[in-house]
Amino acid sequence: MSLLARYLDPVVIQQVSRLDLRARFIVEGFLAGLHRSPFHGFSTEFGEHRKYVQGDDLRSIDWNVFARTDRLFIRKYQAETHLACHLLVDTSASMGYVGAQHLGTRGPRRPAAATGGQPAGKLMYAIHLAAALGYMVTHQQDAVGLAVLADGLQQFLPARSRREHLVQLLSTLATIAPRGKTGLATGIQEALAQIPHRGLIVVLSDLLTDVDETLEALHHVRFRGHDLIVMHVLDAAEASFPFEGSVRLEDPETGQSLVADAEAVRARYLAAVAAWRDELRTRVQSTRGDYVALDTSMPFDKALVEFLLQRTRRR
């Protein structure tokens, strides 16, 4: 495994002790994979990617993006337009779920502590992704803010572009843990009230909550003129259901549980998850927002490619 691939492997990144270094490894490794120089093309003159159309100069095609997405995009360069990006991170108890692919295959487990005192599971993934996005946005001399959500808004940092602010943001991310019931819709609305100017809002959540309430809150995000990217983070086991035999499934927020035969319910479960994600994608896109489906087995570079493409699509 190459050094770059090691940096982009979520399991290996968990072993790095400092969150700011992990964010730097993710972003610099990702950018090095896109360009010969780690930051070439992402300076203040980088404009956007747009879809290739017949007649475009082949030299401007980003072949590394093509290799990752199987789609042709053109690199465009222009004077920088400053962006205010707010990261809304769901920290409810369900985000601490650790699935069978982490701890065996007999059934779900309760949240466990990971290396360095960080929460394990989906929240660990979301923290690293938020840290990497914060690092990337700040490096591009844009402003980044943070809203920590659980049963409503727990913490809020307004968008700033200074390095010192990024350190504060990373420090906040490093101390959060999964707890409490989901109040995602309320948290989004309360965070929205704290954001005075239009910008980009990125929601990182497992979306295990009332769909209608959440979509209504996301509609208000778009109504207020913000660009919206919803990063839907599931545990790898939630996405693939690798369990065998009799399993006990427990809701981490309510404690309710049921026992099921894995083989008997697998097909229906996977069909239900696929239908759920399709509905979320359709309804988010109907608001002219963007939806990115992720799970904890996916390298962070895939998520960052989608972030950059979705960010530029609405420009």
pLDDT digits (tens, 9 = 90+) for 186-226: 999 999 999 988 899 999 999 999 999 999 999 999 999 99
Q: What is the pLDDT of residue 233?
A: 95
Whether the per-residue pLDDT at 150 is higher than 60: the answer is yes
Name the more confident of 60 and 117.
Answer: 60
Q: What is the pLDDT of residue 116?
A: 38
- Distance between CA 114 and CA 15 in Å, rounded? 9
> Per mean pLDDT, which range of 46-60, 61-75, 89-103, 227-241 is the poorest?
46-60
**β strands within the chain, DSSP E:** 46-51, 73-77, 84-90, 143-150, 152-160, 200-205, 227-234, 246-250, 257-261, 290-295
Model pTM?
Answer: 0.74
Range scoring the smallest mean pLDDT among 79-83, 88-92, 105-109: 105-109
Percentage of residues of the chain with pLDDT beyond 90: 39
Instruction: Please state which CATH class domain 84-313 belongs to.
Output: alpha beta
For residue 294, name the pLDDT band (cuts at 50, 70, 90). very high
Coil, strand or helix: which one is 23? Answer: helix
**Beta carbons within 8 Å of 244's beta carbon, 6+ residues apart:** 105, 106, 262, 263
Residue 27 pLDDT class (50, 70, 90 cuts): low
Per-residue pLDDT, 182: 83
Q: What is the pLDDT of residues 296-312, one digit of tens each?
A: 988 887 777 777 666 56
pLDDT score, position 231: 94
- Residues 264 and 231: their CA atoms lie apart, in Å, by 30
How is the chain split into domains, by residue range? 3-77, 84-313
- pLDDT, residue 115, reads 36
Q: Contact 98/125 with Cβ under 8 angstroms?
A: no
Which of 208, 202, 222 minimizes the C-alpha distance to 291? 202
Assess whether pLDDT exceeds 80 at residue 117: no
What element of type H or E holds 215?
helix 211-223
